[in-house]
Chains A and B, each alone.
Chain A
Amino acid sequence: MKHVIVFAEHRQGQTRKITFELATEARRLADALGGKACAVVLGEGAGRIAEQLKSYPLDTIYVSEDRDVDTYLLDPSVDYLQSAAQIVGPSLILIPNTLSGRDVAGRLMVRLGAGVVADVVDVQIAGGEVVCVSPKLGGVLITSCALRPSEYGIATVRPSAFAAAPGGPGAQIVSLEKPAKTYPAAIERDIEEGAGELALEEAPVVVAGGRGLGGPEPFETLLKPLARALGGAVGASRAAADAGWVPYNLQIGQTGKTVTPKLYIAVGISGAIQHKVGMRASGTIVAINKDAAAPIAEFSDLLVVGDAFRIVPELTKLIDTAKGNLS
């Protein structure tokens, strides 16, 4: 592993924050390994993303606007990534730890005979060896795992693990050749739901609600305004998702999503182990609960015992006012 390649995941030209985080980190790692920092951008809108990526410290950006990438499942993307990896040579490949990122990682692992370390939050390089740090068992353990010496290695990286910082001379953009292949699994329809909302895993602030909210309305009337004021996203406990108050894609916890925002505000959530493992690694945890003895008291930085229906609107006002004063 000498060079670093970033899989710049996007959706029809809409970037994800992690793409820029990985582009920034790729430079640091490439310098430590003595190689080049590259990115691969595929599908509709790839050219636009590549232009944006030029403000980040990369050497080469490999691009294909091939519509097959958007028409079929991940097969074309895997082909393009494999061919980019072969053009670049021995490398560490950084892939976002997202739904499709994990699929891509498993497939490239076999194509390139590479090791995979998943859900990476830090990478250390010493004497040419790549060691990845990742939380396991829902954050109960922090592991350090070395990629054994091999031509290729893969790390799937947790969103928000690294900071994005523009800079650098402006990368060279290179087109990738279309693979001469046909693909089996065609996407017949692609539907967006809740478009424009911040992805839960990438949000710097998460405001989550639980059983204590008593129904679906408070998610709209209480939590959404607070999340908006803080520039964050709304999440939920399993109890709230099971009750049908919110869709399952908002569920945080053992059988839902794992989030690590800078600030986590738990409203009417008791803090069962099922929920705890999905949010315990958050920066600061604030809980609002009627019950001073709720389990969440044990792992909150601040617990406010009181009526969420009265506290949350006041808090939203205070934050809006403070932001208004600043601007």
Chain B
Amino acid sequence: MQSPASDGGRYNHVKIVVTVKLVPDPNAEKRIDPQTKRLVRTGVETVLNPYDEYALEAGLQLKERAGGEARVTIFSMAPEPLKETLRKALAMGADDAVILADPGLEDSDVWATAYAIAGALRKLEFDLLIVGGLTDDSSTGAVPGALAEHLGLPCVTNARKVEFADGALDVERETDVGYQVVRTPLPALLTTALTFGEPRYASLKGIMGAKKKTIAITTLADLALELPVGAAGSKTELRDFAPPPARGKGLTVEAGDGLTGAQAIFDFLHEKKLV
């Protein structure tokens, strides 16, 4: 990490890192194989975690506003390097990508995941780290806070609007009941809300250009972490998993008029002691 790139309010050398996760397509119906009790992944495309697209959009908007030499680097962690999916993220406009890819990361829980990512991020220089709010496949929501602690960064989550200002970052962040306006010094960690604005599509030029961009692969050996990761370094242990009890198809009532339909619902709720 380095100090803020601000120079009298100019940000044209700002370095932004956006972390992304690659997940099974969330629009595909998730099914559990009754035999193996595992998630069926065949025929399901690997895509950028939808929440992370908003983080990337935030990074790209800030880069555009900063102009000059401002850069966006994508960071991802996976047991194996999934370069093709990362190319799509690069096609949206990021400059380069770094993947921490190592079979030793398999079965890492949230503690081991955050620890490994923090180790890899320490090797990068940045003024702003942007992380998606949640992950689509196994969400704990704890990774951003953990990264902020590991890296000693201020942690501003759930941003819907960001702006560089006076060597700092002004953030409008959503809360459960409204929003807050926060000013944080840089470097800092930011997570984005889904209200940030629709992520852009890659242009044809972007897609062509992405083929030439660098994707650097780093491994656990490069990081020389003190503590183990993967299953051995995890602080939680999956004991059992099963699909929930099936919800059978219920009753269907045709309602010729409003009162018939209303009465059918009322009687049903009354029977279930819900009214």
Query: Which of A's residues lie within 8 Å of B, judged by CB?
Result: 11, 73-75, 97-100, 102-107, 109-111, 113-119, 131, 135-148, 150, 153, 156, 184-195, 199, 205, 230, 248-249, 254-256, 262-263, 265, 273-274, 277, 280-281, 284-286, 288, 292, 297-307, 309-315, 317-319, 322-323
Q: A73 near B177 (CB under 8 angstroms)?
A: no
Q: B142 near A305 (CB under 8 angstroms)?
A: no
Q: How far is the CA of A313 from the CA of B138 in the complex (A)?
A: 40
Q: Which residues of B lie under 8 Å from residue A186 when comparing CB positions?
A: 182-183
Interface check B27, CB cutoff 8 A? yes
Q: Which residues of A lie under 8 Å from residue B274 when comparing CB positions?
A: 205, 262-263, 284
Which of A74, A150, A274 lies in contact with B235, CB distance below 8 A? A150
4 closest cross-chain pairs (CB), A and B: A106-B145, A310-B258, A115-B235, A306-B255
B187 smallest CB distance to A (angstroms) = 11
Q: How far is the CA of A31 from the CA of B251 in the complex (A)?
A: 44
Which of B142, B268, B270 lies in contact with A302, CB distance below 8 A? B268
Q: Which residues of A lie under 8 Å from residue B236 when comparing CB positions?
A: 115-117, 145-148
Interface check B216, CB cutoff 8 A? no
Q: A315 near B262 (CB under 8 angstroms)?
A: yes
Q: How far is the CA of A98 from the CA of B176 in the complex (A)?
A: 8
Q: Which residues of A lie under 8 Å from residue B256 when comparing CB positions?
A: 306
Q: A187 near B180 (CB under 8 angstroms)?
A: yes
Q: How far is the CA of A312 from the CA of B257 in the complex (A)?
A: 11
Which of B26, B145, B184, B188 lies in contact with A254, CB distance below 8 A? B26
Q: Which residues of B lie under 8 Å from residue A115 when comparing CB positions?
A: 109-111, 234-236
26 A-B contact pairs sorted by A residue (CB < 8 Å): A99-B174, A102-B140, A109-B114, A110-B146, A115-B109, A115-B236, A116-B109, A131-B239, A140-B31, A142-B243, A190-B180, A191-B180, A199-B176, A254-B136, A263-B274, A273-B27, A273-B29, A286-B268, A302-B252, A302-B265, A304-B255, A304-B265, A305-B255, A314-B259, A318-B262, A322-B270
Q: Which residues of B lie under 8 Å from residue A285 when comparing CB positions?
A: 247, 250
Q: Which residues of B lie under 8 Å from residue A114 when comparing CB positions?
A: 111, 235
Interface check B1, CB cutoff 8 A? no
Q: Which residues of A lie under 8 Å from residue B260 when comparing CB positions?
A: 306
Residue of chain A at shortest CB distance from B260: A306
B117 smallest CB distance to A (angstroms) = 12
Q: A109 near B142 (CB under 8 angstroms)?
A: yes
Q: B240 near A185 (CB under 8 angstroms)?
A: no
Q: A11 near B177 (CB under 8 angstroms)?
A: yes
Q: B176 near A141 (CB under 8 angstroms)?
A: no
Q: Which residues of B lie under 8 Å from residue A302 when comparing CB positions?
A: 250-253, 264-265, 268
Interface check B238, CB cutoff 8 A? yes
B185-221 residues with Cβ-Cβ distance < 8 A to A are 185, 188, 194-195
Q: How far is the CA of A273 from the CA of B26 in the complex (A)?
A: 9
Q: B140 near A187 (CB under 8 angstroms)?
A: no
Interface check B224, CB cutoff 8 A? no
Given A192-B178, A248-B195: A300 touches B250 (CB 8 Å cut-off)? yes
Beta-carbon contacts of B22-37 to A below 8 Å, as 1s and 0s? 0000111111100000
Q: Which residues of B lie under 8 Å from residue A98 when comparing CB positions?
A: 176
Q: How large is the interface on B (under 10, 10 to 19, 20 to 34, 35 or more residues)?
A: 35 or more
Q: How far is the CA of A192 from the CA of B92 in the complex (A)?
A: 35
Q: B30 near A138 (CB under 8 angstroms)?
A: yes
Q: How far is the CA of A116 from the CA of B182 in the complex (A)?
A: 28
Q: B175 near A99 (CB under 8 angstroms)?
A: yes
Q: A311 near B272 (CB under 8 angstroms)?
A: no
Q: A106 near B154 (CB under 8 angstroms)?
A: no
Q: A136 near B138 (CB under 8 angstroms)?
A: yes
Q: Which residues of B lie under 8 Å from residue A118 when comparing CB positions?
A: 110, 139-142
B203 smallest CB distance to A (angstroms) = 23
Q: How far is the CA of A301 from the CA of B264 in the complex (A)?
A: 12
Q: A139 near B188 (CB under 8 angstroms)?
A: no
Q: Which residues of A lie under 8 Å from residue B250 when comparing CB positions?
A: 285, 300-303
Given A311-B262, A315-B266: A140 touches B32 (CB 8 Å cut-off)? yes
A127 smallest CB distance to B (angstroms) = 13
Interface check B76, CB cutoff 8 A? no
Q: B239 near A187 (CB under 8 angstroms)?
A: no
Q: Which residues of A lie under 8 Å from residue B262 when comparing CB positions?
A: 311-312, 314-315, 317-318
Interface check B137, CB cutoff 8 A? yes
Q: How far is the CA of A292 from the CA of B251 in the complex (A)?
A: 11
Q: A105 near B142 (CB under 8 angstroms)?
A: yes
Given A105-B142, A301-B251: A148 touches B234 (CB 8 Å cut-off)? yes
Q: Which residues of B lie under 8 Å from residue A131 when comparing CB positions?
A: 239
Q: How far is the CA of A188 from the CA of B173 in the complex (A)?
A: 11
Q: B252 near A292 (CB under 8 angstroms)?
A: yes
Beta-carbon contacts of B130-168 to A below 8 Å, as 1s and 0s? 000000111111111111111000111110000000000
Given A195-B177, A304-B265, A319-B275: A73 touches B156 (CB 8 Å cut-off)? yes
Q: Which residues of A lie under 8 Å from residue B269 when comparing CB positions?
A: 263, 284, 286
Additional A-B contacts beyond A140-B244, A184-B184, A315-B265 (14; CB < 8 A): A137-B137, A140-B32, A142-B241, A142-B244, A144-B239, A148-B236, A185-B185, A185-B188, A195-B177, A254-B26, A254-B27, A285-B247, A303-B250, A306-B255
